[in-house]
Structure 1
Amino acid sequence: MNSERSRLIGIAYRMLGSYSDAEDAASEALLRWYRLTDAERDEIDVPRAWLTRVVGRICLDLLGSARVRREHYVGQWLPEPVRALATGDDGTSDPADRVALHESVGLALLVVLDSLSPAERVAFVLHDAFAVPFDDIANVLGRTPAACRQLASAARRRVHDDRRGPSAPDTHDRVVRAFVAAAAGGDLDALVALLAPDITLVSDGGGRVSAARNPVRGANRVARFVLGITVKSTDL
């Protein structure tokens, strides 16, 4: 069941934007499977599909409660990036779990997904990312297949409209290196030159590191904020 747990974590992470919550959701789905009697398991034609439906329902419930929690969250909330996905080394997570989180699950996409309603997000993730039929999604959401198709379509349009195309790898690396060098060197003018004039910075320290409680707008203000937190981090 290790590979199945990895797949369930991949589904849940895309829905919840939190790796720890995704692990909990996957574990709960598997626990419900093991709680079934042998006779009940024999009645399930496709265990993989059953587990997908169960983890989908768990995530749907968690998404509803998460929205309530975030209303009382201090500052801006951002999805939890999976550091292990980028570095391949977190010292704790099972490597098989990390494989389930494809490189396409970037923070930018998770931010867009978080703007969807819980039902839209579940329908979109299950259908577009994991090719789950709308008949099965209907069982998760308690709606008709046609309604689920409309939810996924609306989510797809939102994702398409909000996402910008990725930059070329060499361009991305060059800009990142220049940004890091300017921040480390305290070069305000260089930082401003690298940023779009209408940039908006949203940060979430998770209660552990410095972050702005409200969005920071404008190249000059963002650059000054970056320099400020860079100085604080080097002084620690």
Structure 2
Amino acid sequence: YVGPWLPEPVDTTQDPHLGAERAEAVEMAVLLLLEKLNPVERTAYVLREAFDYPYERIAEILETSEANTRQLVSRGRKHLAAERKEAVTPTAHRRLLEVFLSAARTGDLSGLEDVLTADVVSYTDGNGMRGASRIPVVGLPHVSRYLVAFAPRFWPQSQVRWVEANGRPAVLVLSGEKAVALLTADISADGIDRLMWVMNPAKLAPYVASLRD
């Protein structure tokens, strides 16, 4: 895979039973962090937190004991707690993402610096496609300047549509009728900690097809 990898976006509006706790378990940032776990730990965590499987059933699936399954899920929770700040509410999430979007589209450096955290990271999943950064951009100075330089080449011909992806407000960027990017973010009380741009057509197409009109 060429460049940063991000999980596939999911239109979670189509699951009316998705509660706040389950929604958090499928957030893009959470799934990205879970990639640092081994496959068994990751499976145990997702089945428990996202799908509310009983420990006994997860143990059967993983062919392990119930006690070990509880330890696997616990390790996943501790990993996320160590790696991620507490997320804001969906309303606050959208509000800050709107402010970011306004600054990003106009190349407003000061505006970007107001909403990005000091250790912000921007990931672009394009699998090598032209225009997609092949390495994560790290830190406030680098990310803000990258976005300012990026603005005149990307935003003037683009329209945006507010959507939901992985339980959080997100922005679908279109050029005419074609979706070119899905922007999601990990946002805490400190500001935007992670920007995640899905530009790989193989991931965008299924997501766009799943959206309700």
Tell me the TM-score range normalised by the shorter chain: 0.5 to 0.7
**Residues 129 and 174 of structure 1, relative CA distance in 2, 3 Å threshold:** closer
Between the aligned partners of 1:79 and 1:185, the Cα distance in structure 2 is 28
Deviation readout 1:130-175 (Å, 9 max, x if unpaired):
3433333222212222222221221121123323212245543443
In structure 2, the residue matched to 1:81 is 9
Q: Which of 124, 128, 146 is equivalent to 1:225?
A: 146
Q: Percentage identity across aligned positions?
A: 37
Q: Which of 72, 88, 98 is equivalent to 1:167?
A: 88
**Residues 207 and 100 of structure 1, relative CA distance in 2, 3 Å threshold:** farther
**Residues 80 and 213 of structure 1, relative CA distance in 2, 3 Å threshold:** same
Contact (CA 8 Å) 1:183, 1:227: kept in 2 or not? Answer: yes
Could you say which structure has the greater relative contact order, defined with CA pairs below 8 angstroms and 6 or more residues apart?
2
Deviation readout 1:11-69 (Å, 9 max, x if unpaired):
xxxxxxxxxxxxxxxxxxxxxxxxxxxxxxxxxxxxxxxxxxxxxxxxxxxxxxxxxxx
Larger Rg: 1
Whichever residue aligns with residue 228 of structure 1, its letter is A
SS at match of 1:201: strand
* Structure with the largest fraction of helix: 1
Q: Which of 127, 142, 150 is equivalent to 2:48?
A: 127
Normalised by the length of structure 1, the TM-score is 0.55
In structure 2, the residue matched to 1:204 is 125
Contact (CA 8 Å) 2:56, 2:66: kept in 1 or not? Answer: yes
Whichever residue aligns with residue 121 of structure 2, its letter is T
The answer to whether structure 1 residue 116 and structure 2 residue 37 are counterparts is: yes
Q: Which of 54, 57, 65 is equivalent to 1:144?
A: 65
Contact (CA 8 Å) 1:210, 1:229: kept in 2 or not? Answer: no
The answer to whether structure 1 residue 107 and structure 2 residue 35 are counterparts is: no
In structure 1, the residue matched to 2:76 is 155
Whichever residue aligns with residue 119 of structure 2, its letter is D
Greater shift in the superposed pair: 128-137 or 187-196: 128-137
**Residues 209 and 79 of structure 1, relative CA distance in 2, 3 Å threshold:** farther
* Structure with the largest fraction of strand: 2
SS at match of 1:198: strand
SS at match of 1:78: coil
**Residues 219 and 177 of structure 1, relative CA distance in 2, 3 Å threshold:** same
In structure 2, the residue matched to 1:182 is 103
**Cα RMSD between the aligned structures?**
2.6
Cα distance, 1:211 vs. partner?
2.2
Unaligned runs of 5+ in 2: 158-213
Normalised by the length of structure 2, the TM-score is 0.60
**Residues 206 and 230 of structure 1, relative CA distance in 2, 3 Å threshold:** farther
